[in-house]
Structure 1
Amino acid sequence: MPPKKKKGKGKGKKKKKDDASLELEDKYKKTMTEIEALKDHLAIRKEIARKSQAMGNMMKSRMADAQKDMEEQKADQKAINSEMALAYTSMQTTLQLKVHTLDMKLMQTEAKLKETEKKLRETEDEKERITREKDEEIEKLNLNIRVMRKEYIRILDESLNSLVSKIDDAKSNIKLGNQTIQAADTRNLSPFCDE
């Protein structure tokens, strides 16, 4: 606040002028100081605004770079997704083809297995039939052997009995011949000599 002016007479006017001049000068100095302070404050604000502007520009540039990087990543991601989808589709097609091929091989193998099992059953049935026939044939041969054995035993018995009978007859003839010889000896006649 400006100082209060004293009212005075005569000398007071001169003093008034000096005071007014001093007051004006003080106001001027004060104003100049304020102007300088405001200039300094304005310079600081301009510097802050300039720094803020530079920071804003830098941030905009970084934001643009980040946006560009993000768009590039999106494009890369889209390309990767596209490649992965293509690879997945290709892999799925390959797997389906493999599954189909394996199914076909399985069906062929099952058909061969059924055919082999059928042949095995037929072979086993044939083996059993042949075994039965052979067993029957063996049984017939064993029966024939038993019959032939009995027949041979009968023939041998008859032959032996006939031989025994012939031996007995020969014995009888020999005894008879011996008796004849003895009787001839007693007569001094040899049955083998001619008279």
Structure 2
Amino acid sequence: MPPKKKKGKKKKKGRKDDGELTVDDKYKKTLEEVEALKDHLAVRKELAHRSQSAGLVWKHHMLEAQTQLEEREENQKAVSSEMTRQYKTMQTELSLRIHQLETELERTRLQLDDTQSELKKTKAEKEEMTKQKNLEIEDLQNRIKKMGDKFLKIFLDNMEQLKVQIDEQAKGRWAERATMIQSENKQTLLEFGLHPLDI
């Protein structure tokens, strides 16, 4: 039998004498790196998935916000348009009202001027009428006074005439009465036997 060769100590698999990795070690390392990369990729995928989900959520929020913003802008435009319309309508109505009030004011001023002129004319007419009436009253008072004076004169004249007539009538009556009394006295004297001439 040929003599057996001495086998040297087996070197560890995976390292060469110069410190380089063996193919198996490289393979294992590569597998580990691949696994690590897979894990890393899975984490990245999960993060990407989460990020994508979060992005979708934020995109949804952004779309909602954009929709709300557009709705607000539309509402603001509608409100602004309505306010502008109302303002223009109100401005038109106010302008029309101002014009109407100015027209009424001018008409009222003209009426006031006419009324003042009429009042002035009426006052002048009243003063003239009052003056005429006062003159008529004064004239009537003068006439009444003259008539009163005439009436008084007539009354006094009539009273004087009446007095004269009464005096004359009274004298006549007294004369008759005196004559009658003298006759009665004479008769009485004669009855007593006396003659009136003797007394």
TM-score scaled by length of structure 2 = 0.69
Q: When the two structures are aligned, how many residues end up with a matched partner?
A: 172
Counting only pairs closer than 5 Å after superposition, residues 65-80 of structure 1 correspond to structure 2 as 65-80=71-86
Counterpart Cα distance in 2 of 1:168 and 1:27: 191
User: How big is each residue's C-alpha offset from its partner over 1:81-125, in whole Å with a ceiling of 9 and x where there is no partner?
Assistant: 221111111111111111112112222222222222222222322
Higher relative contact order (CA 8 A, sep 6+): 1
1:164 Cα deviation after fit: 4.1
Task: Provide the residue aligned with 2:117 in structure 1.
Answer: 111
Task: Provide the residue aligned with 1:83 in structure 2.
Answer: 89
Task: Provide the residue aligned with 2:10 in structure 1.
Answer: 10
User: How big is each residue's C-alpha offset from its partner over 1:57-79, in whole Å with a ceiling of 9 and x where there is no partner?
Assistant: 33333323322332232222222
3-state SS in 2 of match to 1:11: coil
Match of 1:162 among 168, 174, 179: 168
Alignment gaps of 5+ in structure 1? 1-8, 183-195
1:19 Cα deviation after fit: 5.4
TM-score scaled by length of structure 1 = 0.71
Q: Which amino acid aligns with 1:130?
A: E
Counting only pairs closer than 5 Å after superposition, residues 17-166 of structure 1 correspond to structure 2 as 17=22, 21-166=27-172
Q: Which amino acid aligns with 1:93?
A: H
User: How big is each residue's C-alpha offset from its partner over 1:14-42, in whole Å with a ceiling of 9 and x where there is no partner?
Assistant: 15456555444333322211111011111
* Identity across the alignment (%): 11
Higher helix share: 1
Alignment gaps of 5+ in structure 2? 1-8, 16-21, 188-199
Q: Larger deviation: 53-62 or 164-173?
A: 164-173
Counterpart Cα distance in 2 of 1:165 and 1:129: 52
